[in-house]
Chain A
């Protein structure tokens, strides 16, 4: 399989604080990788470095065989690396359809057009198609502020996918979404991902979601990758259970209580 993302010795320091250290990862095309870790483990820092939001202190990043360290979000998006955010980054005071229309015009490299309306028939049809795929057609003409969190997440991910990316990085796609909506949201996203054969790396706290949708997991703790491998193997690891999922701590606490 072809390598699509590779990081070597990737680190980020904030003064004396180490947010991420010596991250060496290789992701191949078509993989769906989960990133897990407790709060402050370095997951989002890793995503932010890869997507050009945060410059790394050390190390290098290669995307599709080309070095991308130092490239900003705009250039990375053009390279085919897209992302969604933990807190959806949308145009809140604009209608949903306009959010998509702007994204489509940018994806078509038509965003500097001064006289042709952004809402062309073709573009509106494409936007409607996306809304339908995402199952959020009912919000078409509403302001984003009128959407519930789950629908906002879907719109955020839909916008990220508009530029026909090769790889998608999703930062906690189900955070803030109700238990009932989580699986429906992930089903919708994963269906499109599989149809387009996209490579996906997503940060997730819900282990049920991780087990259901990914084949490989990277576990972060204190800024380093403590385990990287198949999902069952990583989740069964003693260190991961202690530092990330908390299973071992709960088990031992229960045992101690039982003993008493």
Chain B
């Protein structure tokens, strides 16, 4: 398997971001870490969107990833970040394998509402769980990475960059693979897919479970970076935010999710700074402009340029 041009560019971009991170203020390093973590969850949303499904409940897996990190450290004494992330991935995958059996039967608004419903059920359970801090959540205990205990936010920043890059490289191949294209085919015409001998439910199921696993990595990284988890991670507005970022970036390329997540984080940071009471309005206007002028997301700027080139 040889390295593709876009993959080489993504590796170069990750290295460049890592180097810039060394010279950046803490707030920017933290913002970038959270943006990368969010981008992973957004990639799950993008995976589903490519198959014609919109999930308003990806916060479910984001939250499970986060709580797995919190609970793994607090109740089971696991300190290694990679083990904590693995715990989140396993928990999310297990749940997605059960929910996927039901959800892959549904399409359009029914799928969207059901995903949101499951996410809100988790939110409700966590709010009522006093052992887990109820609405306040709880703090994540000090973690380590293969025995090294990071003292600043740089540790999780590097971890997020490496994991983000690995997931991006995997998904770049996935989108070009037979199953990746089968997802797009399902979005286009389910009847033909079945008459080709492809099980649409099997394809959608695998896609859904993978999206959940990747979402959990995002949740785990967020918990490691923020040092805190709370039920808000499963709240529907957070899931809406992931859909917002997915629309912002578009489904044209894996990198779009990272660019959109960073843009979203910066727009929100500055909107809150300059318009603390009406910052949501700024986000709303940005989304409106994107839908009006770039209906296929920010990534279409690059593809449009490529198409225009002789």
Contact = CB atoms under 8 A, between A and B. Distances in A.
A72 interface: yes
Contacts of A51: 195
A141 interface: no
Contacts of B173: 114-115, 117
Interface string A110-136: 111111111100000000000000000
Scoring A91, A94, A113 by chain B CB atoms within 10 A of each residue's CB, the highest score goes to: A91
B184 interface: yes
Contact of B196 (A77, A114, A116, A119): A77
Interface stretch (A99-107, A178-186, A191-199, A206-214): A99-107
Interface of B: 1, 170, 173-174, 176-182, 184-185, 188-189, 191-192, 194-199, 202-203, 206
Q: Is chain A's interface secondary structure helix, strand, loop, or mixed overall?
A: loop
Contact of B177 (A93, A106, A117, A160): A117
Nearest to B197: A77
Interface of A: 51, 53, 72-74, 77-78, 82-83, 85, 89-94, 98, 101-103, 105-107, 109-119, 159-160, 162-163
A92 to B, nearest CB: 6
A93 B197 CA distance: 20
B185 A102 contact: yes
8 contacts: A82-B195, A89-B189, A91-B188, A98-B181, A111-B203, A112-B179, A115-B170, A117-B176
A89 B190 CA distance: 9
Contacts of A110: 178
A149 B75 CA distance: 64
Leading 8 A-B pairs by shortest Cβ distance: A91-B188, A89-B192, A105-B178, A106-B196, A77-B197, A113-B178, A73-B194, A118-B178
A118 B176 contact: yes
Contacts of B1: 115
